[in-house]
């Protein structure tokens, strides 16, 4: 099992914190976001691939080639290959892997739930405003039919988190994706393409999680105290 952690972004809404470091190195609860993810996943994998771009040398200098004895390698995201699909373009893995976002901190139990699944599995979260998210349409067996971005008609309330356990079949679909209408290479396009060919199981977040998108989020989380386990 491998892990891919997406850590390439600067994130303007976190300036001035990201003037000199990538978002993945912003600290919460006394550790960088990236370090929290490494701490959660290293026991379950034999290699961690960190996707880097903005201020990439800061991440390399901090972690070098291993974490707690587990190999770390780096994949550079070309600036012309924007967004989540572009982040993993060019990665070659002949094994199962899990994709994590450096700025999304999941609980131990939610990570273990997705890792324990025997099939390709997408982690989702219940949301109150489905029109604002990529929502998963699901069949009667609990498998993904399609992720629909910001649907105007109600199809459900399970939003795609982007965290997925898959294998090389997903990477083959990533090679085929084209620029979206937003001029981005989107991982959801590859996931939708894969879902048409083989089952992708849907599971739900069971615990609280941290997703930092602004300085206000950071301040709020620090005030709330450490609920993150």
CA distance 15 to 174: 31
CA distance 191 to 170: 7
Give the pLDDT confidence of 64-116 residue by residue, as tens digits: 999 999 999 999 998 777 889 989 999 999 999 999 999 999 999 999 999 99
In this prediction, residue 87 carries a pLDDT of 92
CA distance 229 to 223: 16
Instruction: Note the pTM of the prediction, 2 decimals.
Output: 0.94
Contact 120, 201 (CB under 8 A): yes
What are the residue ranges in the chain where pLDDT is below 50? none
In this prediction, residue 228 carries a pLDDT of 58
In this prediction, residue 159 carries a pLDDT of 96
Distance of CA 115 to the CA centre of its chain: 14
For residue 16, whether the previous peptide bond is cis, meaning omega lies within 30 degrees of 0, is: yes
* 2-220 is classed CATH 3.90.550.10: yes
Q: What angle do CA 123, 222, 16 make, to 5 degrees?
A: 95
Q: Which two tokens stand for residue 121?
A: 């599995």
- Domain residue spans of the chain: 2-220
């Amino acid at each position: 099992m491998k892990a891919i952690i997406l850590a390439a972004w600067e994130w303007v809404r976190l300036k001035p914190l990201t003037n000199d470091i990538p978002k993945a190195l912003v600290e919460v609860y006394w550790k960088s976001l990236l370090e929290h993810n490494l701490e959660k996943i290293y026991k379950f994998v034999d290699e961690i691939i960190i996707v880097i771009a903005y201020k990439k040398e800061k991440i390399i200098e901090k972690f070098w080639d291993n974490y707690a004895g587990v190999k770390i390698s780096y994949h550079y995201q070309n600036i012309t290959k924007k967004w989540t699909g572009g982040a993993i373009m060019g990665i070659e893995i002949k094994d199962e892997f899990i994709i994590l976002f450096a700025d999304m901190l999941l609980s131990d139990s939610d990570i273990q739930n997705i890792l324990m699944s025997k099939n390709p599995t997408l982690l989702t979260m219940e949301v109150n405003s489905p029109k604002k998210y990529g929502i998963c349409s699901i069949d009667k067996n609990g498998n993904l039919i399609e992720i629909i971005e910001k649907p105007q008609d109600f199809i459900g309330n399970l939003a795609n988190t982007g965290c997925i356990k898959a294998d090389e079949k997903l990477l083959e679909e990533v090679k085929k994706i084209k620029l979206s209408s937003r001029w981005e290479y989107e991982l959801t396009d590859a996931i939708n393409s894969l879902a048409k060919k083989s089952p992708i199981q849907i599971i739900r977040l069971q615990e609280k999680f941290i997703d930092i998108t602004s300085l206000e989020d950071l301040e709020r989380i620090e005030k709330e105290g450490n609920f993150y386990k």
